[in-house]
Chains A and B, each alone.
Chain A
Amino acid sequence: MASTASRSRISLANLSPARGSLHKQKRVGRGQGSNHGGTAGRGHNGQKSRSGAGIKPGFEGGQTPITKLFPKRGFVNQNERVWAPVNLERIQHWINLGRLSCSPEKPITARELLFSGCVHDIHDGIKVLGDGAEFLTSQIYITPSRASKSAIRAIEDRGGQVVCKYYNPLALQDCVKGRTDRITAAPTRRQDIMWYSKFQNRGFLSPDLLKKLGDAPFVEERWKLLSQQLGKWRKQEFDVEKKKK
């Protein structure tokens, strides 16, 4: 702090920037003393010393550039989904630290995992994996997008419950933001309907799972309705033309 005795008052006349905060601009072609005079850092003659646009980036003088040497391969699957993995030991560690908590009324969802830092990015959904299943000791109730078989086994052995729920991108955003005014959409693709209807996956449309869960707090009414409607394929048959004798 400057004392008033040694300096005159702080005015517009005695302000200066912080030492090292300002850097001199590089001005080329302004004399020998600046070290950038004469040819202004461009060397002597040649295409690069001329004014105007230089060569196109990636151009190698006519030689086949590295971007064209190798053939194109494959395609990008637009329907591909990337799951954010989370292992059981990580969840247990978070619960031990008190960063995550769950109960049958409030199961662990993508929102809790993201906000507690268990998962850094949700991508297209959460997949629970079974690494470190031996460290899992608490009962957890979790509704991820997917779960591996060993994870399901480990969670249910400890008395918890896994229900794999279908989240489309909008539903995932609503889950993370905590919006409950919208109804989350049902799966439309055959693959998804088949996957979520299987008990081995603990899919939310599987009739065996819904019967087992019964009236658990985190089961939604809508699941039963969807399971009925989307499970009609089990009883349907193709129309087979009767052979005329």
Chain B
Amino acid sequence: MAKTVPLKRAIPDPPPPSITECQLVALDPTVFHHPIRRDILHLCINHYRDSLRQGSANTRTRGEVRGSGRKIRPQKGSGRARLGDAQSPMLRGGGVAFGPKPRDFSTKLPRKVIQMGMRVALSSKVLEQNLGVMKTMDWPNGKTKYLSHKISSLGLKNTLFITGEDEVPTMLQRAIRNIPLVGVTTSREVNIHELLKWPRVMLDAKAVDFFEQSLGKPYASVDDTPVQEAISRL
């Protein structure tokens, strides 16, 4: 069987700038080098998307459609089918049989499955070499154009910036919110859906600590291969 040629992207991402000064970051392998489990990600994404559903579709049943209960035509003698009131689902203008009613579509997923999903998502980003670590994330003024220029020069489009602070710094928030294809969030609020949606992810040093604290295990469960290191950009 002939080998299939892998598809190539039409417009490649800009190559990263030459890194003159960089530092190495040692990441916890139980968090960032977890075996990839697509089925766990599938479960987590379904759980997340279920929770987003509004569930407000509503229809009127035959009891809720406005109308009287008078029998439309006599039981016998008309030669046609027998009918009760005019709101029956058989008739035009009648109620809906078994139609949607407002309900809660959210599902439950064990907490530990969601935690494993986070580990798998972060590990997949490391595996694809789409995870970066920065020392701190802040911007001095709230000007979008300067930040946009800096991000383009770093080649960090299509990136989600995750900061480990409790809130995204105001100046950074203001400067970044209008830049297309760039997003920012805190490590507490980030979810697996966002991690998978964004092609590239940049973490704060604080965010790395947060993930390692909340997701790290005291022992490696399956793989004992040496830890993979991520290159941090200044």
List A residues at the B interface (Cβ < 8 Å).
1-2, 4-6, 8-12, 14-18, 21
Is the Cβ of B129 less than 8 Å from the Cβ of A11?
A: no
Q: What total count of A-B pairs have CB within 8 Å?
A: 43
Across the interface, do B196 and A16 meet the contact criterion of CB distance under 8 Å? no
Our pick among B39, B124, B196 for the contact of A17 (Cβ within 8 Å) is: B39
A10 to B41, CA, bound (A): 10
Quick check: B128 and A9 within 8 Å, CB to CB? yes
Where chain B touches its partner, the secondary structure class is helix
Say whether, besides A10-B124, A10-B196, A15 and B38 are in contact (CB < 8 Å). yes
21 contacts between A and B (CB under 8 A): A1-B36, A1-B127, A2-B36, A4-B127, A4-B129, A5-B6, A9-B124, A9-B128, A9-B199, A10-B36, A10-B38, A10-B124, A10-B128, A10-B196, A12-B197, A15-B41, A15-B42, A15-B45, A17-B39, A18-B42, A21-B39
| Interface bracket on B | 10 to 19
- Give the 4 A-B residue pairs with the shortest CB-CB distance, closest first: A18-B39, A15-B42, A10-B124, A9-B128
| Residues of the B chain whose Cβ atoms lie less than 8 Å from the Cβ of A14 | 38
Cα A1 to Cα B41 with chains together (Å) = 14
> Closest CB of chain B to A184's CB: distance in Å?
40
A9 touches B197 (CB 8 A): no
List residues of chain B with CB under 8 Å of any chain A CB. 6-7, 35-36, 38-39, 41-43, 45, 124, 127-130, 193, 196-197, 199
CA distance A90 to B88 in the complex (A): 71
The answer to whether A11 and B196 have CB atoms under 8 Å apart is yes
- In whole angstroms, what is the CA distance A138 to B129 when docked? 66
Dominant secondary structure at the A interface: loop
Smallest beta-carbon distance A235→chain B, Å: 66
Q: Report how far A9 CA is from B198 CA in the complex, Å.
A: 11
Q: In the assembled complex, which residues on chain A have CB atoms less than 8 Å from the CB atom of B196?
A: 10-12, 15
Report B227 CB to chain A, min CB distance, Å: 15
Closest approach, in angstroms, between the C-beta of A149 and any C-beta of chain B? Answer: 53
